[in-house]
Amino acid sequence: MFAIVDIQGQQFKVSKNQHVYVHRLPAEEGTTITLDKVLLVNDDKGVSVGAPYVSGTTISAKVVSHLKGDKVLVFKKKRRKGYQKMNGHRQSFTKITIESIG
């Protein structure tokens, strides 16, 4: 059983007891959140495709932790001009665990 869910503008294929890293969610660690933007559900009965969302289907997920991703370096240079610029960025993520689909 799996589902495709829209979390903050990104689509994820999730199943039960799976860990997913999503963009930072405004929820405390240890709380349970419900995701209602379910695009597709595949279960024993068959495949249900929403238009745009499957009605009556929610996914409950538990917020495990908030963390940052790996550093991405942005390097800009213009040749023969002596211009160099180095910039770094670390994206904020939230690790969630899918508890139930249904």
Range of the domain at 97: 2-101
Give the count of domains, the chain.
1
Whether 19 contacts 12, CB under 8 Å: no
Read off the pLDDT of each residue in 77-98 and give the average, rounded to a whole number: 97
pTM: 0.83
Q: Write the pLDDT tens digit of every residue in 5-60.
A: 999 999 999 999 999 999 999 999 999 999 999 999 999 889 999 899 999 999 99
Kindly indicate the confidence band of residue 4, based on its pLDDT and cuts at 50, 70 and 90.
very high
Give residue 102's pLDDT: 83
b/e string for 6-16 if b means 16 or more Cβ within 10 A? bbeeeebebee
Read off the pLDDT of each residue in 63-88 and give the average, rounded to a whole number: 97
- The whole-angstrom separation of Cα 31 and Cα 76 is 41
Give residue 45's pLDDT: 87
